[in-house]
Structure 1
Amino acid sequence: MRNGAVVPRALVLSHDEQYARLADSVPEALDAAIVAGDPCFDRMSVSEPRRREYRRALGADDDMTVVVVSSTWGPDSLLGRNPDLIAQLLAELPSDRHVVAAVLHPNAWFAHGPAQIRLWLGDCLRAGLRLVPPAEGWQQAVLAADVVVGDFGAVTGYAACAGRATLLASFPDDQIAERSAMGELGRTARRLDRVSAFLPQFDAARADAGQFSKVRELATSLPGSSAAALRKAFYELLALPEPPRAPLVPPYAAGALLPERMPVAAWWVAAQWRGDHEAEVTRWPADVDARDEQPPNTTDRHLVVEQAHPRRDLHGNAAIVMIEDLGEAGETFARRPTCGFVVTGKEVVHRDKGVVAEGLSDVDESVACASAIYAWLSAGRTWEALPGRAMLRIGSRQIEVTLSRPNLPPRPASEVRPPHPSRRPPA
């Protein structure tokens, strides 16, 4: 209202409930009000069949759990109240079975500046975070999600409407219209317990994700028909005849989901042997710190670091170092007295035994192999008892590897390619 007159010629509402609230608060505006549904809701609904494509864009396969963290802006937002939550999620969730993505409100991006956002989330990006840009892609990320951890922002509401398991990390009830879809979400969704383990809370939320039907009902009064209602209103305002063909409702393009991400270059790794021929390997990113009473702090683990990792404080405790070329093995051992193994994309080299596994397919496979041997020896077992072949499980991958046996002595690294000794002190 301005000077007693209604300013807009058309005031678009998504639900009859909003029309009723408008009638209570500004009845003079009812003649301009149009209940036209929610075009974003409708586009997300028709985009659901492309869910697998969106997951691929985030780097997740069918066996991984995608966790999307959504924060609106302001001091009561998820990041405003829980600035360490994204890092804690990344630190606690095994990285070979989980993908964590962040969706931040554009006001957060541009109030602080993109450079500041990337600085605050630098450790998280090095730990594998998928950071969704502010302009587009959040709808695809939500549809790719298995679990959404959010607040009172619209993205969290859309996640609940899409049937995703939704937990609230921040929700100021006194700021939310009680009869609205968000008000219903606040009454229905579980609150994230920042003290307890996250995985059991995710499982519980996934079990009752179907509870948000009332939220969905309050989101739009015209599900599937918003485009038609909006186009009709637009052409009436323009005093033009409406086209005869049906309006388009295109699904969101998978190619528009382009998250910022970096390869993980430091892990905490735990390898658990099940009998003598099978081992389970679990990795957590080491660039972020887990809570004291949660994994990986609660398990027997070792540190794996890439040779070029920028955090030098991690290098001194690394049991396994990832290198580019086998010729760097000798120098790496000379400089790093705590390092027992180095790995490339094809070989595993032990400090004393030389090359103990080769012909591997990638660095992940090499790390799994070295970690399994490390755990075997750390448990007091001998090289002589090490099985000739073993099945390693890392995430959804099953890898059968050949390990050196005492009657087939491993080749020293120097026989494969001469190392380059260094006289510099250990890092």
Structure 2
Amino acid sequence: MLHEGRVVPALIVLSHDEQRERLRRDCPEAVPNAAVTGDICFDRLRASLPLRPTYRRALGLRAAQRLIVITSTWGADSLLGVDPDLPRLLAAALPADEFRIALAPHPNIAAFHSEYQFGSYLADAKRAGVLVPENVDAWRACLIAADLTIGDHGSVAFYSCALGIPLLLSTAPTHTVDPASPIAQLLNAAPRLDTAGDPATQIRRTITDHDPNRYAEITARTTSVPDRSAELLRAALYRTMGLDEPTAPAEIDTLPLPPIAFTGADAHVVQVRITDRTATLTRYPAERLRSPDAPPVPNTHLAVETRETYRRWLDFADVLLGPPGADTPTWIAETLARLPGCAVAAAPAPDGDWLVGDRDTQLGVEGPYSAGRLFASIAYCASTQGQPLSDLPGEWVIHCADETFEVSVTLCKPN
């Protein structure tokens, strides 16, 4: 603030009156140059709250799916500084059809390591289905759409809490912030994520038990002038420059729609439970197999999409899922011939229905598109229990997370 006793900045922008009091405590000479203009980032988030259903729809989220935003500031004490593998580990631990995860990293992380190196660090997390928005407005939209935030001492976690979104802290380095600041109070008050425990149970409990006003006294200090930052900041800047303001009003824009939607992982550990003609599936990203501390899930197999480029998953696949295309029966037969460790292959036919087959039998699956790939796992599970694919034709009900599908399965005639 000072150089040789002189205040350096011509204008010091503050978001809340309490910051001016702390400035008066630490550097009273700078107080005349300070202006409380609010928080333009927070005002844009507030303005965008009515668009939460729109952002969730643009992100490809179903109503019952839970979006978890992991946010990390920069430095050794940040979430990624303390636990750089947390996004991957969390994604691998959570049921893939119930939860989606987005990561909002501070731009200084990529600036320090380089975009290429940071992208390399996150490759495993992305393979587990973690979405890493490419621009600041995209993660802001994710924050509006979120059901819970996992964070640290950065501003995004505080914004999340101020918006009424449930919060879990992965790390809370109180020694890095002013003890009198609102963020210090939040670090002392908010619950911690127990990485040694079951994250799904903790997340569900935190969402269910959440009171959006629990930290209202703390987050009230986000801004003294909510929704007025555009006009106050512009006035302060033009006043400092000695220029006349434009006559048009300064306004806050809402956030644009996120340019990318969740696609999820391309390889899953799948658990199937069959009762008569009803099957219940739970899927986890295959990265769970690379997490030694993850509790084992009994009676599972590996289902892999052909767009997955990680060779290990292709080598270990029990079920291979292909893209739409012509001559699906031939594709199934030739693919299984080239992958001796794979038991079942499936892909959509040109008419949209799926074909599911092993080396002896092929089945047609008529029903919702998403159900076809799920039935491939049912076929595999049934075959491991001694039931050949030829016994499976008929009507089936499939439960997966919050969705229920009905499919009709028929036996395909051999070519």
TM-score, normalised on structure 2? 0.89
Partners in 1 of 2:389 and 2:260 — Cα distance? Answer: 44
After TM superposition, give the deviation of residue 313 of structure 1 in Å: 2.2
Q: Percent identity?
A: 31
Deviation string, structure 1 residues 307-359 (Cα, Å, up to 9, x no partner): 45332222333221123433122222223333221100233333254222234
Contact kept, 8 Å, 1:58 with 1:99, in 2: the verdict is: no
Compared CA separation, residues 228 and 306, structure 1 to 2 (3 A): closer
After TM superposition, give the deviation of residue 47 of structure 1 in Å: 0.6
* One-letter amino acid of the structure 1 residue matched with residue 413 of structure 2: R
After TM superposition, give the deviation of residue 48 of structure 1 in Å: 0.3
Structure 2 counterparts to residues 34-183 of structure 1, below 5 A: 34-183=35-184
Structure 2 counterparts to residues 206-355 of structure 1, below 5 A: 206=207, 207-210=209-212, 211-242=214-245, 246-254=249-257, 257-259=258-260, 264-273=265-274, 275-287=275-287, 289=289, 291-292=291-292, 294=294, 297-307=296-306, 309-324=308-323, 325-345=328-348, 346-355=353-362
After TM superposition, give the deviation of residue 380 of structure 1 in Å: 4.9
Alignment of 1:367 with 2:373, yes or no, is yes
Determine the structure 2 residue equivalent to 1:378: 384
Determine the structure 2 residue equivalent to 1:411: 413
* One-letter amino acid of the structure 2 residue matched with residue 390 of structure 1: W
Provide the aligned length of Structure 1 versus Structure 2: 404
Partners in 1 of 2:16 and 2:206 — Cα distance? Answer: 27
Moved more, 93-102 or 326-335: 326-335
Contact kept, 8 Å, 1:93 with 1:199, in 2: the verdict is: yes
Partners in 2 of 1:308 and 1:46 — Cα distance? Answer: 39
Deviation string, structure 1 residues 262-297 (Cα, Å, up to 9, x no partner): 663211111122x323212222121454644645x2
After TM superposition, give the deviation of residue 381 of structure 1 in Å: 5.2
After TM superposition, give the deviation of residue 118 of structure 1 in Å: 1.4
Contact kept, 8 Å, 1:264 with 1:285, in 2: the verdict is: yes
Partners in 2 of 1:288 and 1:110 — Cα distance? Answer: 30
Alignment of 1:400 with 2:406, yes or no, is yes
Structure 2 counterparts to residues 6-25 of structure 1, below 5 A: 6-25=7-26
* One-letter amino acid of the structure 1 residue matched with residue 318 of structure 2: A
TM-score, normalised on structure 1? 0.87
* One-letter amino acid of the structure 1 residue matched with residue 210 of structure 2: D
After TM superposition, give the deviation of residue 375 of structure 1 in Å: 2.6
Partners in 1 of 2:47 and 2:307 — Cα distance? Answer: 45
Partners in 2 of 1:47 and 1:380 — Cα distance? Answer: 54
Q: Which runs of 5+ in 1 are unaligned?
A: 416-427
Contact kept, 8 Å, 2:367 with 2:406, in 1: the verdict is: no
Compared CA separation, residues 260 and 96, structure 1 to 2 (3 A): closer
Contact kept, 8 Å, 1:365 with 1:399, in 2: the verdict is: yes
Contact kept, 8 Å, 2:368 with 2:407, in 1: the verdict is: no
Deviation string, structure 1 residues 66-89 (Cα, Å, up to 9, x no partner): 111111111111111101111111
Deviation string, structure 1 residues 85-110 (Cα, Å, up to 9, x no partner): 11111111222222111111111011
Partners in 2 of 1:220 and 1:349 — Cα distance? Answer: 57
Contact kept, 8 Å, 1:353 with 1:411, in 2: the verdict is: no
* One-letter amino acid of the structure 2 residue matched with residue 411 of structure 1: K
Moved more, 19-28 or 283-292: 283-292
Compared CA separation, residues 356 and 27, structure 1 to 2 (3 A): same
After TM superposition, give the deviation of residue 8 of structure 1 in Å: 1.9
RMSD of Structure 2 on Structure 1 (CA) = 2.4
Contact kept, 8 Å, 2:68 with 2:149, in 1: the verdict is: yes
Compared CA separation, residues 178 and 308, structure 1 to 2 (3 A): closer
Compared CA separation, residues 304 and 383, structure 1 to 2 (3 A): closer
Contact kept, 8 Å, 2:70 with 2:151, in 1: the verdict is: yes
Determine the structure 2 residue equivalent to 1:418: none
* One-letter amino acid of the structure 1 residue matched with residue 162 of structure 2: C
After TM superposition, give the deviation of residue 34 of structure 1 in Å: 1.2
After TM superposition, give the deviation of residue 57 of structure 1 in Å: 3.3
Compared CA separation, residues 259 and 384, structure 1 to 2 (3 A): closer
Compared CA separation, residues 242 and 318, structure 1 to 2 (3 A): closer
Deviation string, structure 1 residues 159-203 (Cα, Å, up to 9, x no partner): 111111111112211111122121121022111111001111112
After TM superposition, give the deviation of residue 386 of structure 1 in Å: 4.4
Alignment of 1:29 with 2:30, yes or no, is yes
